[in-house]
Structure 1
Amino acid sequence: MSVEPELLALLPRLRRLARTLTGSAATADDLVQATCERVWAHAEDWVPGTRFDAWAFRILRNQWIDWARRSRTEGYPEPVDERTDLVGEWGEKRAMDKLILDDVRKAIDALPAEQREVLLLVCVEDFSYGEAAQVLGVPIGTVMSRLARARKRLNSAVEAA
């Protein structure tokens, strides 16, 4: 006996139950598909005159239980893009950051030595202008002008890259 008409009429209700059980539209669709496959494979087991919907719901529920047991050890299959609670980085952002950092590193390496020194002391080592001037043995105004020129060159180099 063909179960096709009953199964087609039951699809919205199967999906509603699956959505309730899984909490995910995609997982519910997978569960309904697996249920339909099982119903088709075992259509000869359904006894005409009994409730087809109860039989199909029991198959869906058993599929769900099997899936839930498997997922305890395998984890839940979910699209990563829909997860907001995952810790980690997007590979694209990390790659872009590395490219930008490489551009900045090259631009710093291209600076004259006196500008690199000032940049390192003030921006990396957090020296004040006065402390940097003492380390380099130059007036504070020289530190300020070298730093300004270094920043301007870096900005131009990074924008050009």
Structure 2
Amino acid sequence: MDTKTKISDFELTGINGKPLKLSDYAGKVLIIVNTASKCGFAPQMQGLEDLYKKYGQDGLVVVGTPSNQFHQELANDEDTASYCQAHYGVTFPLSQRVRVNGADEDPLWAYLKEQSGGGRIKWNFTKFVIDRHGEVIRRYAPATRPAAMEETIRAALNLKK
């Protein structure tokens, strides 16, 4: 990967079919997460939405990237969007489904893995926190609840305790 690549260089396709440019979030703290509606960790979407609502005004953006790589996503993007909204009240941006591993993995996910030094994505709900300068500052395992990330997020947002 080009050493000049940065997080703001990436663009996904939003679940609504429109461009989802990470450059639109320059200067924000990001959580980028691979989601799957039928995964046992899917209730984390509520925790991610809670963080987004709590810290959005301070500069936090959650970007969910549905993936069926582990065979736990619904049939299509429309079903995914409806499910996330109906069951978890998701208002944070979602992309169309992506692949997070392999020869046809999404370039953003290749970059996130490279920057974090963490290797392959082992399961749904792997979470990356990116600081306001576009640097990957932390990779969280799928089992890590969003609330457990709050200290890292507050520090990245430069919020006092």
Bin of the TM-score, shorter chain as denominator length:
under 0.3
TM-score (norm 1): 0.24
Q: Which has the higher contact order (CA 8 A, sep 6+)?
A: 2
Q: Which has the larger radius of gyration?
A: 1
More strand by share: 2
TM-score (norm 2): 0.24
More helix by share: 1
